[in-house]
């Protein structure tokens, strides 16, 4: 769709409403209808792309000399991140019209990552309902000083070490391990689905991991699964923290939280090298995904162009992925003071 066509789709622009009057339905109404249309060809093309790129990555791993393995690992792990994004669309029912197709494809593509599909789907939908809401957002939320003060010394030290040493890239591993495997943490109506998804990944691991070790040795397991899996978690952790974290991004208590503004201005668009965005199916064009999870990944750029046309004053500044960006986030966004914003550990200790 051309820029002029997007402009012609305007039914409501940001200047028509006061800041406190904006609701998600207003933003959704302003988007072109094409943004919400599922396209089977495009959807299955993402699968072909991810499968072929992962196969290419494993081929490189098999033939590469030792000094090229880091490049092959980065490429393969990034391709596997595309597997997660396909499962992500399935979890939001934006991959296919039939629920059973979404569930089947979601399980298949999250299975090699040992990610229980329904466990993630249920928890992740909670994140969308409570984005940037203090105490409720379960994807990434800042730690308030009073919460930090209530922790024991060991837990405080561990969190400080995590932030000061810039270990954000392993954050999603802890979230994966703690949240997704215990059905008791979910509502009774969801527990059967969670148990099914956990069983799927455990059966996969019970069959594939021993087979891989028997045929390629322990080093083969590390080379072909564990390190690419760690690269995947690097991107999973990075995407998660960058999507909603900057020194000026507010987290609000429930009584002051505005759903539309939280999704619109509390979600950050970050540009990554194009090869990463291709392999990860544009998941980093993240603002429209938070406006409506019904938008398939292949329509995110179209939707974002429209959002910029209509709602630019409320969008957070775009950023570009770099080591400096991650350094700024982990160095400055350490503890969150309600109504004030982020402060560092050093500022926290100085004020005691």
User: Looking at per-residue confidence, does 19 or 156 come out higher?
Assistant: 156
pLDDT at 242 over 90: yes
Residue 276, number of CB atoms within 10 A of its CB = 18
Q: How far is CA 197 from CA 96, 102, 171, 287, 332, in A?
A: 19, 13, 22, 29, 38
171 Cβ partners below 8 Å, 6+ apart?
140, 162, 237, 240, 241
Binning pLDDT at 50, 70 and 90, where does residue 3 land? very low
Tell me if the pTM is above 0.85: yes
Domain boundaries, the chain: 3-132+166-319
User: What is the mean predicted confidence (pLDDT) over 36-48?
Assistant: 97
Q: What is the pLDDT of residue 342?
A: 94
Contact 138, 126 (CB under 8 A): yes
Model confidence pLDDT, tens digit, residues 269-317: 999 999 999 999 999 999 999 999 999 999 999 999 999 999 999 999 9
7 Cβ partners below 8 Å, 6+ apart?
309
Model confidence pLDDT, tens digit, residues 95-121: 999 999 999 999 999 999 999 999 999
User: What is the mean predicted confidence (pLDDT) over 15-20?
Assistant: 60
CA–CA distance, 203 with 265 (Å, rounded to integer): 41
pLDDT at 4 over 50: no
């Amino acid at each position: 769709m051309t820029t002029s066509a997007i402009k012609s789709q305007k039914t409501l622009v940001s200047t028509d409403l006061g800041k406190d009057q904006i609701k998600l339905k207003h933003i959704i109404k302003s988007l072109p209808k094409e943004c919400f249309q599922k396209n089977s060809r495009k959807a299955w093309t993402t699968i072909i792309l991810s499968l072929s790129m992962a196969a290419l990555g494993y081929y490189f791993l098999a033939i590469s000399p030792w000094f090229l393995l880091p490049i092959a690992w980065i490429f393969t792990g990034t391709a596997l991140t595309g597997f997660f994004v396909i499962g992500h669309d399935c979890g939001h029912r934006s991959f296919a019209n039939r629920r059973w197709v979404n569930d089947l494809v979601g399980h298949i593509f999250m299975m090699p990552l040992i990610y229980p599909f329904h466990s993630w789907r249920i928890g992740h939908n909670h994140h969308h309902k409570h984005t940037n809401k203090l105490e409720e957002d379960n994807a990434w939320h800042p730690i308030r000083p009073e919460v930090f003060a209530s922790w024991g010394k060991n837990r405080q030290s561990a969190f400080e070490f995590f932030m000061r040493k810039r270990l954000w890239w392993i954050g999603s591993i802890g979230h994966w391990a703690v949240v997704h495997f215990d059905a008791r943490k979910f509502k009774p109506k969801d527990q059967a689905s969670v148990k099914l998804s956990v069983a799927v990944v455990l059966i996969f691991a019970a069959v594939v991991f021993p087979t891989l070790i028997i045929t390629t040795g322990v080093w083969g397991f590390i080379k072909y699964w564990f390190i690419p899996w760690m690269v995947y978690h690097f991107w999973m952790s990075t995407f998660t923290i960058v999507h909603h974290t900057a020194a000026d991004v507010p987290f609000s208590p429930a009584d002051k939280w505005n759903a539309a503004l939280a999704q619109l201005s509390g979600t950050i668009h970050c540009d990554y090298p194009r090869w990463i965005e291709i392999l990860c199916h544009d998941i980093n064009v993240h603002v429209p995904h938070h406006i409506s999870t019904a938008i398939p990944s292949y329509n995110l750029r179209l939707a974002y162009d429209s959002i910029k046309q209509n709602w630019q004053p409320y969008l957070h500044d775009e950023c570009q992925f770099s080591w400096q960006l991650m350094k700024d986030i982990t160095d400055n966004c350490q503890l969150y003071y309600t109504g004030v914003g982020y402060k560092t550990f050093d500022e926290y200790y100085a004020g005691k």
